[in-house]
Copies of this chain bind each other. A is one copy, B any other.
Amino acid sequence: MSASAARPGVLISEVGPRDGLQSVKATMATAAKMRWIDALVAAGVREIEVGSFVPAKLLPQLADTAEIVRHGLTHPGVTIMALVPNLRGAEAAVAAGVHKLTIPISASEAHSLANVRKTRAAMVDELRAIVALRDRAAPRVKVEAGLSTAFGCTIQGEVKESDVVWLAQACADAGADDIGLSDTTGMANPAQVRRLFNAVRAAIGSKTGAAHMHNTRGLGLANCLAAYDVGVRTFDASLGGLGGCPYAPGASGNVVTEDLVFMFEAMGIATGIDIARLIAARAPLIAGLPGEPVYGMTPEAGLPKGWAQAQA
The residues of A with any CB-CB pair to B shorter than 8 Å are 152-155, 157-158, 185-187, 189-192, 215-219, 221-222, 224-226, 229, 246-251, 253, 256, 259, 262-263, 266-269, 295-298, 300-302, 304-306, 309-310
Whether A154 contacts B305 by the Cβ 8 Å rule is: yes
Whether B247 contacts A153 by the Cβ 8 Å rule is: no
The CA of A185 and the CA of B216, in the complex, are separated in Å by 25
Candidates B152, B218, B229, B263; contact of A298 at CB < 8 Å: B218
Find chain B residues with CB under 8 A from A296 CB.
218
Q: List 27 A-B contacts (CB under 8 A).
A: A152-B305, A152-B306, A157-B306, A157-B309, A158-B310, A185-B304, A186-B301, A186-B304, A187-B304, A187-B305, A189-B267, A190-B267, A191-B267, A192-B266, A215-B297, A216-B297, A216-B301, A217-B298, A219-B259, A225-B226, A246-B297, A247-B300, A248-B300, A249-B300, A249-B301, A249-B302, A250-B301
Find chain B residues with CB under 8 A from A192 CB.
266-267
Q: Please give the distance in Å from A286's CB to the nearest CB on chain B.
A: 17
Q: Please give the distance in Å from A182's CB to the nearest CB on chain B.
A: 15
Query: Which of A187, A259, A268 has the most CB atoms of chain B within a 10 A radius of its CB?
Result: A187
Find chain B residues with CB under 8 A from A155 CB.
305
Whether A263 contacts B216 by the Cβ 8 Å rule is: no
Q: Which residue of B lies closest to A250 (CB)?
A: B301
Find chain B residues with CB under 8 A from A300 CB.
247-249
The CA of A154 and the CA of B304, in the complex, are separated in Å by 7
The CA of A301 and the CA of B152, in the complex, are separated in Å by 15
Candidates B186, B225, B295; contact of A222 at CB < 8 Å: B225
Whether B305 contacts A153 by the Cβ 8 Å rule is: yes
Find chain B residues with CB under 8 A from A215 CB.
297
Whether A268 contacts B152 by the Cβ 8 Å rule is: no
Pairs of residues from A and B, 4 with the lowest C-beta to C-beta distance, nearest first: A157-B306, A189-B266, A218-B297, A191-B267
Find chain B residues with CB under 8 A from A153 CB.
305
